[in-house]
Structure formats: structure tokens, C-alpha cells
Amino acid sequence: MNTTTRADAQTGAQADRFKATFGAAPHGVWAAPGRVNLIGEHTDYNEGFVLPFAIDKRARTAVRLRSDSTIRLLSTFGDQGLAEADAAALTPGPVKGWVKYPLGVVWALQQHGVEVPGFDLLLDSDVPLGAGLSSSHAIECAVITALNELTGAGLSVEEMVRLTQHAENAFVGAPTGIMDQSASLRGARGHAVFLDCRDQAVELVPFEAQEAGLVLLVIDTKVSHSHADGGYASRRASCELGAQVLGVKALRDVAVADLDEASGLLDELTFRRVRHIVTENDRVRQAVDTLRAQGPAHIGSLLDASHASMRDDFEISCPELDLAVDTARAHGAIGARMTGGGFGGSAIALTPVAQEQQVRDAVVHAFAEAGLTRPDIFTVTPAAGAERIS
Ligand code: GLA
């Protein structure tokens, strides 16, 4: 089956399952992808630059509006069963499991003044959960795209980005930035999304690894992470402290040339956190210039430098991510780094097609030797952002 036929079959099966569960056909099916970040980590909440892309794995939500305020939610995975909530009585805090993502979106829309009636929703997703590929934002972006259309709210993409961030920050309780939902909402086939997180200006940058004889491998270490835990928040707090001491609105306003002076003003730990952000913003811009001028085969050293900075200065890597990165590099990848928030999740390895199998085998072998869970390894390509698919 080719990809389109498979996607059609999945959408058809989802619509059938929806009808069997809720007794009527959905009003439509909306899909939104997960993402990998090529480079630019933890720069988003510092009003800096990121370069993610939407991947060819996505969440699909079949939705039918109701005439009362009841929300009924079911997913094709997990064991949560049918969940029910009242659209008129949502509050942040007590909600558990995947349903906090759609309910958080409803709550954020209401905070913005959008009236959201009850609805039935069936979720299906092939974005791996907990792998650092933004499975939660894929759900949120599919839901907000569906509700924006069905309620006639007329939100811009910038507003949808901010509202899903508000859902994550205030309803889910994860103090994350705007990178993931921007990639999911604004992704385009064959392109990475170069985003200025200060004003949401976007440029699409061609990223056609295959044309350069390369693949982008994702190595899911199976080490689970949560951005609602302390590590992410403490990095964010260090960045805010650094900006305050340096007298800037955000670390985006600090240049590499300012680092010498900054080292005299900051404590050692805060300085290293700041140095990661400042040099990472610079690497994102270099990666964009290099991709445009020379193509993907030339960004390897920037990926490596980004990983070293996250490992040593920002300290968000972990032994499994380092093992994945080091092994991939030693067996033929031209650049590799952890991707996403860190403390687990996935690494990416830009690899010549001729070395792909060798890298896969070496990483699986290294994890087995170290007594670790077998990682999942797969390729991703830049795909379209959120859209209605039926
Ligand atoms: C997570 C967050 C993003 C971003 C990355 C790190 O994915 O959701 O907002 O901060 O971590 O770059």
C-alpha cells in the first residue's frame, strides 16, 4: 500500500470507529504532526531562534460537535477508555492522561473568549508517545485546528500557537515555549521551519536530506521524560536569572561577543546556561545560512556542537542520549544531537544512506552491550503541518 492509500484507509477506519462509538458520523477529521528539532534547543522561551520540522507521523482527531456541553473523548491507544467532561466546567489541575491535551485546548479557547460547545472526539496517533517528538502538541494542534474551523473562531496561526502554549503552561502544567506547536501548525513538506520566537516570523528552509544522499535517523532511547518535571523549569529559571542580571529583556538579546563580559557578571552555573542559549541561537542562524548555501550535508558540525553544548553547558542530556549520539557519529553519521527538551526522549543522526544500516546496527548493539532497553530507530522527513484530511 502506498502512503496515501494507507492514510485514506486509516481515516476511513477512524470514521467507522467514530460512528460505531458515538452513533453518528464525525463532522470531519483533522491531522497534526509531531516534530523533530534540527537545531535550536531551549532557545524558544528565550525569544530566540529554532529550526524544527513537522514529521511524517501525526495525530488525527475525528470530531462531531454536540448541542449540549458534554465532551466525550476516546483514543485508539492506551487503556483510558471513554472519558467525559463538561465544557462548561473545565479547570486546570485535576485532569490526568492524554485527555488533558484536548481539554486544555478547550479551556484556553474559552479563556480567549471562544464559545466551545460539547463534542465527541476520537483520537488516533502514530507519533510515538514520550519519545520527545511532541506527541502532546500533535494532539493539541489537531484539536485546535478542528475547533477553530467548527466553531468559526477565525483564529490566526499565531493565535493558535499562543493558545496551545497557554493550554500547556496553565492547564497541563508544563512551562514550555512555542517551538513544537509552531512546527506542527506551520510545517511544510520538504522544509524546516525557521522561527523567530520573539515575533513568530517564519521562513521555510528547504531540507531535502534524501536529495543529498542522506537520511535523518531518529533514535528513540525509550528513556521517558516529562516537561512538567523539575529539570525543564529549572533551566528556564536559570535563563530568566541570567537575562535579569545582564539587564536584557531575554537572552536573545545577548550576542556571542558579549559572553566574555557576561562571565564576570554571572555565577559559574548561570553563565554556562547562558552560554548554551547564546551560542545555540548563533548555531541556528549558521545552520539556516549553511542549508541555503550548501545543503544538509554541511550542517553536521553544527549538530555536534549543539549536542556538546547541551551535554556540558545546559546539562540536559543523559547517558542514553550521549551513547546514541556518540555511537552514531563513530559509525558514519555526519552529525548527531539530542532533540527536544532533553532528560530522555530521542536523538537525531544525519547519516549518509550508505551508512544507515551500519549506524542502526551499531546503536542497537551499543545499547544491548550497556544493558539498556532496545532503542527504536526510524527515519523522518519534513511533512505538511496541521490540516483537515476528511
Ligand atoms: C520542549 C518544549 C519546547 C522547547 C523544547 C526545547 O519540546 O515543548 O517549547 O523548549 O523542549 O528546545
Supply the pLDDT for residue 142.
Answer: 98
Supply the pLDDT for residue 366.
Answer: 98
- In the chain, the largest separation of any two C-alpha atoms, in whole Å, equals 67
Give, in degrees to the nearest 5, the angle at Cα 49 between 44 and 55.
80
Supply the pLDDT for residue 228.
Answer: 54
Q: For 113-251, where are the E strands, in sequence order?
A: 119-125, 191-196, 201-206, 214-220
CA–CA gap between residue 206 and residue 316 (Å, rounded) = 29
Taking each continuous run of H as one helix and of E as one strand, the counts in the chain are: 11, 13
Assess whether the C-beta atom of 180 lies below 6 angstroms from ligand 1. Answer: yes
Assess whether the C-beta atom of 47 lies below 6 angstroms from ligand 1. Answer: no
Q: Are strands 70-75 and 119-125 parallel, antiparallel or unpaired?
A: parallel
The model's pTM: 0.97
All CATH 3.30.230.10 domain ranges of the chain, comma separated, are 3-205+383-388
Backbone dihedral angles phi then psi of residue 270, each to the nearest 5 degrees: -60, -35
Residue to mutate (ligand 1; options 43, 46, 172, 179; most atoms within 8 A of CB): 179
Cα-to-centroid distance, 340 and ligand 1 (Å): 5
Supply the pLDDT for residue 4.
Answer: 62
All CATH 3.30.70.890 domain ranges of the chain, comma separated, are 208-379
Assess whether the C-beta atom of 184 lies below 6 angstroms from ligand 1. Answer: no
Assess whether the C-beta atom of 227 lies below 6 angstroms from ligand 1. Answer: yes
Smallest CA separation from ligand 1 atom 5, residue: 341
Taking domain 208-379, whether its CATH number is 3.30.70.890 is answered by yes
Q: CATH says 3-205+383-388 is which class?
A: alpha beta
Supply the pLDDT for residue 135.
Answer: 96
Q: Which residue has the cell 476528511?
A: 390
Q: How far, in Å, are 217, 220, 347 from residue 378 at the CA level? A: 6, 8, 11
Cα-to-centroid distance, 177 and ligand 1 (Å): 6
Cα-to-centroid distance, 232 and ligand 1 (Å): 9
Q: Which residue has the cell 525509550?
A: 222
Per-residue pLDDT of the chain (390 residues; tens, 9 = 90+): 555 677 778 888 899 999 999 999 999 999 999 999 999 999 999 999 999 999 999 999 999 999 999 999 999 987 789 999 999 999 998 788 999 999 999 999 999 999 999 999 999 999 999 899 999 999 999 999 999 999 999 999 999 999 999 999 999 999 999 999 999 999 999 999 999 999 999 999 999 999 999 999 999 999 987 665 689 999 999 999 999 999 999 999 999 999 999 999 999 999 999 999 999 999 999 999 999 999 999 999 999 999 999 999 999 999 999 999 999 999 999 999 999 999 999 999 999 999 999 999 999 999 999 999 999 999 999 999 999 999
Supply the pLDDT for residue 246.
Answer: 98
Cα-to-centroid distance, 179 and ligand 1 (Å): 6
Give, in degrees to the nearest 5, the angle at Cα 322 between 319 and 205.
140
Instruction: Report the nearest atom of ligand 1 relative to the CA of 45.
Output: 10
